[in-house]
Amino acid sequence: MQHRIYLLLLLVGLMACNKGYDRMLDKKDYNDSTGVIARTPKILFLTIDGARGEAVRDAAAPNLLALADHAIYSWNSISDTIALRSTGWADLLTGVHKEKHGVIKNDFSNNHLQAYPVFFKYIKERAPKFRIAAYSSADSLGQFLITDTDVNQTYADDDAAATQAILQELTIDTASMVFGQFSQVELAGRRYGYDVSVPGYKAAILQADENIGKILTALKQRKTYASEDWLVIITAGNGGPYMIDPSNDDGTILSNTKVNTFTIYYSPRYATSFLDRPYTGNRYTGKAVRLYGDNATTAVYATIDSGKEDYNLGKDAEATIELKIKKNKTGAGDYSYTYPSVIGNNMSLDWWHNTGWNISLEVNAWGVHFGQNGAGFNMATAGNISDGKWHDIAAVFVNRDGKRFLRLLTDGNFNTEAEITGYGNFDTDAPLSLGYMPGNIVNNRWLDAYITEVKFWKAAIPDNVISEYVCAAELPTSHPYHDYLVGYWSCKDGYGGVFKDQSEWAHDFKINGAYKWDDFSDLMCPSSANNLAQLVPQPVDPVRQVLNWLQIAADTKWNLDGKVWVTSYVDINK
């Protein structure tokens, strides 16, 4: 009887304990991971000097491309801009940039490697028995940089010998971190040129790929491979100089062939993660007229005489004037100008006896002159546009709380606001001029620039609307303030002697002087170099990737520069 009572209480207890479990997990199939065996993390780290990422991709190197299904990879990694092999090696093995490790010469002189050592030192400090073996094709790498290894061998630029040594290392049960460096792609690039279109360079890439194929096969044939967890890193510390097609040059660091490399982080457990070439800006193409000159006889400029009164601003009219401009270099070889007119209806650019409004350049920046003779004349200054690139500039005249203000924006970003209430009536009898305007000619006071996408609204456009359309190559009819246009000149007509007004007001600009239509194809709204570098792998990153894989926490005192790139796992049991 007691035995039956005990069984009954046990059943009741089990039912009570299981109650509600179905609310914790959905009813679906799950992989049983209870049988997963902990695997020993290990590293295979290979670097191919001089291997441009885009060239490796275009060479269709079969073994490297086959890794993509289980890899974090990029063909547009960026190395250090001085593009020295020694600097690339130091970046790869210290995890910090040259400003810290100090390797900026091929002889490694005056370095700071005591403060920023090769990361093998950090591993050995945490795990002294962890076997690290380095096999360098280049003698200088092993002699001047690599330290804290169990094996450090060099091979006088003999990639085949380095490959054979790595294959032998992989037969050793205790092999834990295997580092290999190859030289022949770099040497072929120096001799023939660093591009896949050059047979000698392409052949060197394919030979390196063949060597890597042998190494990957040997890795998977290890007797202990099933109980090991290998991360394979294959990359390059530098690319090489080669003249690319100008149509493929976006003007950013991504088009600098010397710093173009590749990065592959491979594990059979990784889901694929392709780090594509990041957005660098819109390609802006067409034909435009170069506006330049310092006098009415020889200058190339444009004017509107019939209908010019429609562009007067009076003493309280709201308006927005927006355009795109690309400055050319001055005779001094820079982009510094002193008050040349861009667009406006001043009688002249003299400060005395002046009335009207005018967008003009001010040294490296731009701004707006405004005022009425007798009431005052002044200028508000906006952002820097002195880099030879296209910029969008906008001046907004707006009334608020019984006062009048002028707001200036560069590339959609607000720069400044000035109260202009007391500066009188800006109406003039002068034509609306694009480019040259009479005035005292001093200190590059004349313009030399291309101007396109000129828009004049009889409305104060909000900042957020200006920002939304700032990278558009042309004004869409869906623009929320399209009905307020009193002038829209793309200035990209490509032929003829006028800039056609595409608004319903039909006030064309007449082009004056010996003009011609020039082709242009430039980047608009480009990302900064710093932003681009953060979006693609760099040689300083593998150190962090290795430490993360080995579950070694990076000490803040190491002051590492790299980052860890992550992806999802396809199956925890693999």
Q: What is the 3-state secondary structure (H, E, C) of 274-335?
A: ECCCCCCCEEEEEEEEEEEECCCCCCEEEEECCCHHHHCCCCCCCEEEEEEEEECCCCCCCC
Record the tokens describing residue 312, joined without a space.
């007067």
Element (H, E) at 153: strand 151-154
187 to 46, 157, 158, 192, 200: CA distances (angstroms): 17, 9, 11, 9, 10
Q: Note whether 45 and 179 are within 8 A (CB).
A: yes
Looking at residue 353, what is its pLDDT?
Answer: 65
Compute the distance between CA of residue 34 and CA of residue 56 in angstroms, rounded to an integer. 41
**pLDDT for the residue 444:** 53
Locate 421 and state its tokens. Answer: 């209430």
* CA neighbor of 131 nearest in space, from 159, 169, 90: 169
Count each helix (H run) and each strand (E run) in the chain, helices first.
13, 24
Collect all residues with Cβ–Cβ distance below 8 Å to 492 and sequence separation of at least 6: 286, 287, 288, 452, 453
Q: Are strands 498-499 and 447-457 parallel, antiparallel or unpaired?
A: unpaired
DSSP for residue 440 = -
pTM of the model: 0.65
CA distance 430 to 439: 13
Question: Under a CB-based contact definition with an 8 Å cutoff, are residues 393 and 382 in contact?
Answer: yes
Cα-Cα-Cα-Cα torsion 166, 171, 176, 178, nearest 10 degrees, comes to 0
Residue 22: the pLDDT is 31
- Residues in the chain, overall count: 574
- Alpha-carbon gap, residue 292 to 77, rounded angstroms: 41
Please give the distance of CA 251 from its chain centroid, rounded to a whole number: 10
**CA atoms 190, 192, 198, 202: torsion sign:** negative
Tokens matching residue 355: 């009335």
The count of other CB atoms within 10 Å of the CB of residue 143 is 12
Judge whether 183 and 159 are in contact, CB under 8 Å: yes
Give the CATH architecture of domain 40-280+527-558: 3-Layer(aba) Sandwich (3.40)
Residues 157 and 184: beta-carbon distance below 8 Å: yes
Q: How many CB atoms lie within 10 A of CB 273?
A: 16
* Residue recorded with tokens 């490959």: 163
Considering only the C-alpha atoms of the chain, give the largest distance between any 2 of them, rounded to a whole number of Å: 122
Ranges of CATH 3.40.720.10 domains, the chain? 40-280+527-558
State the pLDDT at residue 459: 98
pLDDT of residue 2: 41
User: Token pair of 235, please?
Assistant: 């990359």
337 Cβ neighbours under 8 A, 6+ residues apart: 327, 330, 361, 362, 363, 444, 445, 447, 448
DSSP 445: -
φ, ψ (nearest 5 deg) of residue 198: -95, 115
Which residue type is seen at 501?
D
Tokens of 550: 């080995």
- d(CA 270, CA 568) in angstroms, rounded, equals 6
| CATH class for the domain made up of 283-524 | mainly beta
Q: First CA to last CA across the chain, in angstroms?
A: 52
Query: Helices 541-549 & 85-94, crossing angle to 10 degrees?
Result: 30
Ranges of CATH 2.60.120.200 domains, the chain:
283-524
**C-alpha separations of 560 from 77, 100, 126, 179 in Å:** 18, 10, 17, 20
- pLDDT at residue 198 in the model: 96
Helices 199-220/159-169 angle, 10° precision:
10
What would the two tokens of residue 282 be? 């819109």
Q: Side chain identity at 420, as an amino acid letter?
A: I
78 token code pair: 């960026």
- Give the SS3 label for residue 18: helix
Say if residues 383 and 366 touch (Cβ distance below 8 Å). Answer: yes
Taking only the tens of pLDDT, the chain with its 574 residues reads: 444 433 333 333 434 333 332 322 333 333 433 344 579 999 999 999 999 999 999 999 999 999 999 999 999 999 998 999 999 999 999 999 999 999 999 999 999 999 999 999 999 999 999 999 999 999 999 999 999 999 999 999 999 999 999 999 999 999 999 999 999 999 999 999 999 999 999 999 999 999 999 999 999 999 999 999 999 999 999 999 998 887 677 777 888 899 999 999 999 999 999 998 876 667 789 999 999 988 888 899 999 999 999 999 999 999 999 999 999 998 888 888 888 899 999 877 666 668 999 999 999 999 999 999 888 889 999 999 998 889 999 999 999 999 999 999 999 999 999 999 999 999 999 999 999 987 655 545 689 999 999 999 999 999 999 999 998 999 999 999 999 999 999 999 999 999 999 999 999 999 999 999 999 988 787 666 566 777 899 999 999 999 999 999 999 999 999 999 999 988 655 5
Q: What's the rounded Cα separation, in Å, for the pair 432 and 358?
A: 9
Q: How far is CA 332 from CA 66, 255, 337, 426, in A?
A: 53, 27, 10, 35
Closest CA to 146 of 186, 84, 86: 86
